[in-house]
Chain A
Amino acid sequence: MDNPDFSAQALRQAQVQMPEHGGRLRRAVAEYGIPLERWVDLSTGINPCGWTIPLIDNQTFMRLPENDDELEAAAAEYYGSSDLVPVAGSQEAIRELPRIRQQLFGESRVGVIAPGYEEHRYHWQLNGHQVERLAAEQIETELHRFDCLVLINPCNPSAVRFDQATLARWHQQLAARGGWLVIDEAFLDTEPQQSMIQPQMPSGLIVLRSLGKFFGLAGLRVGFLFADAEIRQMLSRAIGHWSIATPSRWLATRALWDTSWQQEARTWLESSRQRLVRLLEEALEDLPGSLQGRGLASTGLFVTVQIDDAAELAHRLAQQGILVRYFEPYSSLRFGLPGNEHEWRHLARSLTEATAAESQIQV
C-alpha cells in the first residue's frame, strides 16, 4: 500500500466534509418501491421546460473548442457585460476562485452565506481559508471581520434576497481593504434587473451565472464568471483552453441568442411560481401540530417552506411518489416547479393525502 500522505492538503481534504448531491431519485426508487417513471421529481430547482436542444451538426463533435467562437459575444449580449469568462458550469469558478484568492492574498477570512449551496463553503475550506457560515441577518454586523463574503442571490435553498443597494455597500466595504464580494446568481435569470453584473466589472466584485437553472441545461456544463481583468486572466490561465466542450459552446450560444424563448420562459415560470406558492399555502395553511406552516419563500424556480416536521412531510410525499429536497439543519423542504399538468395534479393530490394523514395522528 502507499505510504500515508501527511501533506497539509491531504489533511485538509480529510477534515473538510464534501457536500452531497444528486442520485436521490434512484435511491428513492429503491427505498419506496415506486418505479422511476411514476415519480415526480421536484428535488432540483431546474426549469422543467428548459430550452429545446436542436439537432447538432456532426462536425461540431469533431472539432476542438475554439475560444473565439460566438459564445462570448452571445453571453455579453445576454448578460450586459463583456467582462466575462465562460466556465464549465459555475461549479468550475466555484472551485477555482478560492485557489486564486490563495495565490493572490494567501489565507483569508471568508464568510459564506448559510443556509446555502454547500459547494462554496467546501472549496474555500479545501483551499485553506478560514471559513465561517453566516446567516443573512448576521452579515451587516459581522462583515468587518471578513476579507471575502460569498453570497447566493437569490439564495438556494432559503430563497433569501439581497437588494442592490446593500450589495453595493458591502462591496465598497470589502473592496476598500482588498476584499472580495462573490455573488452566485445561478437563480437570477427570471429577474435580471436585480443582477450586480456591470458593463465594467469593478475590482473586488465577482458574479457567477449558470445555464443550468433557468435554461434547464445543467448537463451542458456552461456558466460564466464576471470580474475585473486580473481575476479573469488568472481564471482563464487556470482552466486552460478546452474546459467547455464544443457542442456545449455551440448550444449555449444558441440558447443565449434565443430571446423570444427567454421572454416566454420568464412569463411561464412566473405564473408557475405563483401557482406553486398558492398550492403550498393552501395545503399547509391550517394544519394541526407539527406541520404548522412557518415560512414560505420563493425564487423564480423553486419554493422553500420551513416547517416543524419537514422530514415527516418529505417522507409522506415520497410515499406518494413526490420527491422534494429536505434540508435537515433548517427543517425546510424545497419544491421545484412541476413541468406539466400531470405533475401538478399529482402534487396537489399528494399534498392533500400527506396532510390529511397528519391530522389523524396525535402529535
Chain B
Amino acid sequence: MTALLLWVGVLIDLWLGEPRRWHPLVGFGRCADWLEQRLNKGSDFRRRISGLLALLLLVAPPVLICAWLMQWPLLQWLLSPLVLWFTLGFKSLGDHIEPIRRALEQGDEPEARRRTAMICSRDEATLEIERTAVESVLENGNDAVFGALFWFCIFGAPGALAFRLINTLDASWGYRSERFLYFGWAAARLDDLAGFLPARLTALSYALCGQTRRALRCWRLQAPQHDSPNGGPVMAAGAGALGLKLGGPTRYRGTLVKKPILGEGRAAACEDLDRSLKLLRYSVLLWLVVISLIQFVWILAAGVF
C-alpha cells in the first residue's frame, strides 16, 4: 500500500511540480520568522529553549492534524499522496536547474549566475556556477526528495511532513552565526537526527547509480572531513558517482569558508547539470522499485503465514 501511495505522490509531483500560486511552505516560513523575532532573545540558554519551543509550536500542529486525518482510510488514500507531493521538491529541483543550463548554453553568464544565486546562499559575484548547481542537486536530492520518501515509508504522510518542516526550519535557523547558534540548535540537531538514515541511503543509491567504487571510496575518505554529518556522505558519494571534483573554498555572505574537496576527477561543466539530475532520477527510480519489491515480498509473506 505504502508503495502504491508513494508512486502516486511522486507522479503527482512530476506532473504538477511546485504549486505555482500559493506554496504552503512560504506561509510556514513567515510564521517561523514571526516566532523567531519574538522568541530569539535573552541568555544563551533561554535562546536554546525558545528555539526548541518554537520548533514544537510550528511542527507539532500540522503533523498532529495530519496524523489525526489519517485514521479514516478513505482520507488516508486521498490525502497522503497529496501530502507527499507537498513535501517533495523533485520536479521543482529540475525546474530550477533548467534555466541555469539554458543560460549557460546561450553564453549568458550573468543570467546563469543570478539563477544559481537564487538556489543557494552563496555570494552571487564569486560563486562557481556549474559546481554550485551540481552541489545543489546532490544536496537537495537528499533534503527535498529522499528524506521525505524515507519518512513516508516509516510513518506515512505525517512522517514525511514532519521531516520536511524540520528541514525547512533548519534551512532558516540552522546557522552557526551569532544570531542562530543557540536558537537554531534544536532545529539543526533534530534535522541531523532525522536525516541520518536517509542521507546514508541517498549516498548509497548515488553510488549504485553512478561510478560505484569511486563513490564509495570518496564517501569513506572524504565524508569525515565534512562538517555536516549528513551532507558529507551525500556530497562525497554523489561527487564520486559523477566522477567530479566538487567542494573547496566557497564564499558565503562575504566570508570565505574552507570546505573539503569532495569527489575526484575533473571540475563540473555545463553538461554535468543534466548528469546530476539524471543521477537523481535514477536514484529515485531505484528507491521506488526497491520499496515496491519489499512491499510485494511482505504481502506474499503475510499471505503465506
Q: Does A52 contact B (CB under 8 A)?
A: yes
B109 touches A345 (CB 8 A): yes
List the A side residues contacting B129 at CB < 8 Å.
341-342
- Whether B25 is near chain A, meaning CB under 8 Å from some CB there, is no
The total of chain A residues at the interface (CB under 8 A) is 17
Near B by CB (< 8 A), chain A positions 9-63 give 37, 48-49, 51-52, 54-55
Q: Is the CB of A261 within 8 A of B267?
A: no
In contact, B268 and A52 (Cβ under 8 angstroms):
no
- The 8 A CB mask of B207-251 against A (1 = contact, 0 = none) is 000000010010001001100000000000000000101000100
B268 engages A264 (CB within 8 Å):
no
> Shortest distance in angstroms between B35's beta carbon and chain A's nearest beta carbon?
38
Q: Are B221 and A54 in contact (CB under 8 A)?
A: yes
Chain B hits for A339, CB < 8 A: 267
Answer yes or no: B20 CB below 8 A from chain A CBs: no
Cross-chain contact of B265 among A49, A55, A341 (Cβ < 8 A): A49
In the complex, which residue of chain B has the Cβ closest to the Cβ of A51?
Answer: B264
The reply on A340 being an interface residue by CB < 8 A is yes
Please tell me which one of the listed residues A37, A268, A342 contacts residue B256 in the complex, with CB atoms under 8 A apart. A37
Q: Mark A335-351, 1 if CB is under 8 A from B, else 0.
A: 00001111001000000
Contact (Cβ within 8 A) B268 A340: yes
Residue of B nearest to A342 (CB): B128
- Contacts A54-B221, A340-B128, A342-B129 hold; do A261 and B264 have CB atoms under 8 A apart? yes
Asked if A52 contacts B261 (CB within 8 A), the reply is yes
The answer to whether A49 touches B266 (Cβ under 8 A) is yes
Within residues 94 to 153 of chain B, which ones have a CB less than 8 A from any CB in chain A?
A: 104, 109, 126, 128-131
Please tell me which one of the listed residues B128, B243, B256, B263 contacts residue A341 in the complex, with CB atoms under 8 A apart: B128
**Shortest beta-carbon distance from A28 to chain B in Å:** 19
Closest to A343 in B: B267
For B128, list chain A residues within 8 Å (CB): 340-342
Set of chain B residues within 8 Å of A345, measured between Cβ atoms: 109
Supposing A340-B131, A341-B270 touch, asked if A261 and B221 sit within 8 A by C-beta, the answer is: no
Count of A-B residue pairs with CB < 8 Å: 48
**Complexed CA–CA distance, A54 and B131 (Å):** 21
Which B242-282 residues have a C-beta within 8 angstroms of A?
243, 245, 249, 256, 261, 263-270
User: Nearest Cβ distance between residue A295 and chain B, in whole angstroms?
Assistant: 29
- Chain A residue numbers with a CB within 8 Å of B261 are 52
- The CA of A232 and the CA of B217, in the complex, are separated in Å by 37
Contact yes or no, A341 B264, CB < 8 A? no
Also in contact, A341 and B245, with CB within 8 A (given A37-B256, A55-B221): no
A52 touches B245 (CB 8 A): yes
Residues of B within 8 A of A55 (CB): 221, 224-225
Q: How far is the CA of A68 from the CA of B261 in the complex (A)?
A: 32
Contact B269 A341 (CB under 8 A): yes
Interface residues in A251-282 by Cβ distance below 8 A to B read 260-261, 264-265, 268
Judge whether B268 and A341 touch: CB under 8 Å.
Answer: yes
CA distance A341 to B256 in the complex (A): 20
Most buried by B among A48, A51, A268, A340: A340
Give Cα A255 to B237, complex, Å: 20
Q: Tell me the nearest residue of chain A to B248, going by C-beta.
A: A340
In the assembly, what is the distance between CA of A54 and CA of B130, in Å?
Answer: 24
> If A37-B256, A264-B243 touch, does A52 touch B264 (CB 8 Å cutoff)?
yes
Q: How far is the CA of A341 from the CA of B272 in the complex (A)?
A: 11
Most buried by B among A48, A265, A268: A268
Interface centre among B129, B221, B245, B267 (most CB of A within 10 A): B267
B245 touches which of A37, A49, A54, A260 (Cβ 8 Å) = A49
B-chain residues with CB within 8 Å of residue A341 when the two chains form the complex: 104, 128-130, 267-270
23 CB < 8 A contacts A-B:
A48-B267, A49-B265, A49-B267, A52-B261, A52-B263, A54-B217, A55-B221, A55-B225, A261-B264, A261-B265, A264-B243, A268-B266, A339-B267, A340-B128, A340-B131, A340-B269, A341-B104, A341-B128, A341-B267, A341-B269, A341-B270, A342-B128, A342-B130
Chain A residues proximal to chain B, CB less than 8 Å: 37, 48-49, 51-52, 54-55, 260-261, 264-265, 268, 339-342, 345
Binding site for A on B (CB under 8 A): 104, 109, 126, 128-131, 214, 217, 221, 224-225, 243, 245, 249, 256, 261, 263-270
If A49-B265, A340-B267, A342-B128 are given as contacts, then 16 extra A-B residue pairs at C-beta distance below 8 Å, sorted by A number, are A37-B249, A49-B245, A49-B266, A49-B267, A52-B264, A52-B265, A55-B221, A260-B214, A264-B243, A268-B265, A339-B267, A340-B128, A340-B268, A341-B268, A341-B270, A342-B131
The 7 closest A-B pairs by CB, nearest first: A340-B267, A52-B264, A342-B128, A268-B266, A49-B266, A341-B130, A54-B221
